[in-house]
Amino acid sequence: MATSKLGLIGKKIGMTQVFAKGGELVPVTVIVAGPCTVVQKRTAEKDGYEGVQLGFGEKKTQRMTKAEREHRKKAGRMVATLREFRGAVDLEVGGELKVGDLFQEGDLVDVTGVTKGRGYQGVIKRHGFSGFPATHGTHEYFRHGGSIGNRTHPGRVFKNKRMAGQMGAVRVTTQNLAVVAVRPDDNVLLLRGAVPGARGGLVFVRPAVKASGGSRG
């Protein structure tokens, strides 16, 4: 099964810690990855590339449009989330891709998720600014960002100026996380370190695209 570029849809359960083989206490993120159902296949003859559309989770049919129901009917499951991955796979529509088919201990993976929303935040929390002195004449200006421009020239605020604003709730990919353990019977991945998102959040796991030197233990 050629699955080098494929990934899985999963759900972040939370963080814990486990002992590695050498006795090291390792912080890990627990992810339920799959099983994912093949909802649609892409072929080079028809679409110009090879890939599969995978589905994860369950959704009530009454909460779907007719088009959504009909699209999932061939797969035999009313999956909640769809995601397309490039790569060839021998499975047909309706087949399942499991965590043990793609990953093993020591692999490096990239995990994509949506970070926690923090609301409207100031420059200290959002960008790590230092703020102003608490004494020596500072008056009600402790956590401000300071000057944002310079009079007539340029006469405007430059784009991408770091200022207060909405923080979080953005799509982020954490790269090169090591797979500490794979538990196929529970569809569980244990990844070293933290991944984006809150507990229960949707994540996408795929082989690391920038991994150098192969797998890492």
pLDDT band at 217 (very low <50, low <70, confident <90, very high): very low
Pull the structure tokens for residue 203. Answer: 């994540």
pLDDT at 51: 87
Low-confidence winner among 11-15, 47-51, 105-109, 158-162 (lowest mean pLDDT): 47-51
pLDDT in tens, 80-108: 889 998 877 788 888 888 898 889 998 99
What is the mean predicted confidence (pLDDT) over 121-149?
93
Summarize the confidence of residues 54-80 as an average pLDDT.
89
Query: How confident is the model at residue 9, as a pLDDT?
Result: 93
Residue 28 CB neighbours (<10 A): 22
Mean residue pLDDT of the chain comes to: 89
What is the C-alpha to C-alpha distance for residues 135 and 115, in angstroms, rounded to an integer?
A: 36
Cβ proximity of 214 and 13 under 8 Å: no
In one letter, which amino acid is 83? R
Written as six digits, the tokens of 144 are 């401000």
Q: List the domains of the chain with CATH numbers.
A: 8-118+169-207 (2.40.30.10), 121-168 (no CATH)
Q: Is the pLDDT of residue 56 over 80?
A: yes
Q: Sort 85 into a burial class: Cβ within 10 Å, 0-12 / 13-18 / 19+.
A: buried
Whether the per-residue pLDDT at 216 is higher than 50: the answer is no
